[in-house]
A = this chain, B = another copy of it.
């Protein structure tokens, strides 16, 4: 299959730091190439993948993030090349421009929805509901805007080579995430404190949005010993930190469409304790790979029962359901469906030319 994959223009694939979509794309395109598919990645900046690469800008315009000029520069040129080029199918991750102009491509366009739905994005995607074959990253995300032309749900993968269990667990809990109210940083610290556990925190503090939350709601609970904030850590440190923890605390309170960090914890053989929001119940199986509850207070009761969870089982689930191979197989299935549907749609149009011309 000759697949054109369109990355967002803002960040290279893979990203150096922040960049969830770009990290997922690196795993996907490399795995598709490994499996024998012919993949061309349309992207910007210093990309290092095993796919053929069509790079529109030497330096990704990260500091211009959100500006229509750069988005249109990238997707416009990609779509023009794809319409004239030897491709069977397009897999688009561009956000809005891909779906808005998909109707003009001769090939089927598969579009992965990466964000949570809002009133505005619902309005947007509904206007182009039949122009793409949509893929959700969780059932929960799909249910929050069910009336699009979906072909399925494919959860994001984690790098199961990079995220591995460690030989021996330490005596601490961990919470790694952007430091903010939605992700439940304060709740995680309080859960640990109330149960007499040590907790280590890591993650970015957005200076604009979240500094005030950190100063007023998180810092007062820190003591440099049993509740410690380690700042932003490298990928390597993050794996060491998570794999050494007895449990990963994830007491979120927002409709997170997926939650990759939970899968990273499972791949590291670390049970996840999480509140039932967003895609959490689709990732963590209660009593098998962690524990679920409706509130942080209920959730903390399970800290006594961590020995019921087998770290090897967490790892197995990550490999089976959230490995790059599992994700690539999920998408290949979607691609085949899209090609079939597109084909029969074209044939229907040819069979009734009058209707098509009207």
Spell out A's residues near B (CB within 8 Å): 66-73, 75-77, 79-80, 83, 95-97, 99-101, 103-105, 120-121, 123-124, 127-128, 131
Contacts and interface: CB of A to CB of B under 8 A. Distances in A.
A87 to B, nearest CB: 14
B104 A69 contact: no
B73 A100 contact: yes
A316 to B, nearest CB: 40
Top 6 closest pairs, chain A to chain B, by CB? A76-B100, A104-B104, A72-B100, A72-B96, A68-B68, A101-B101
A131 B83 CA distance: 14
Given A127-B76, A127-B77, A69 B83 contact: no
Nearest to A98: B72
Nearest to A68: B68
How many copies of this chain does one complex carry? Answer: 2
Q: Is the interface of A mostly helix, strand, loop or mixed?
A: helix
17 contacts: A68-B71, A68-B95, A68-B96, A69-B124, A70-B120, A72-B100, A72-B124, A73-B96, A75-B100, A76-B99, A76-B100, A76-B128, A79-B101, A83-B103, A83-B104, A97-B100, A101-B104
Contacts of A76: 97, 99-101, 127-128
A71 B121 CA distance: 12
Contacts of A71: 68
A202 to B, nearest CB: 32
Q: Indicate the member of A72, A96, A121 with the most B CB atoms within 10 Å.
A: A72
Contacts of A128: 76
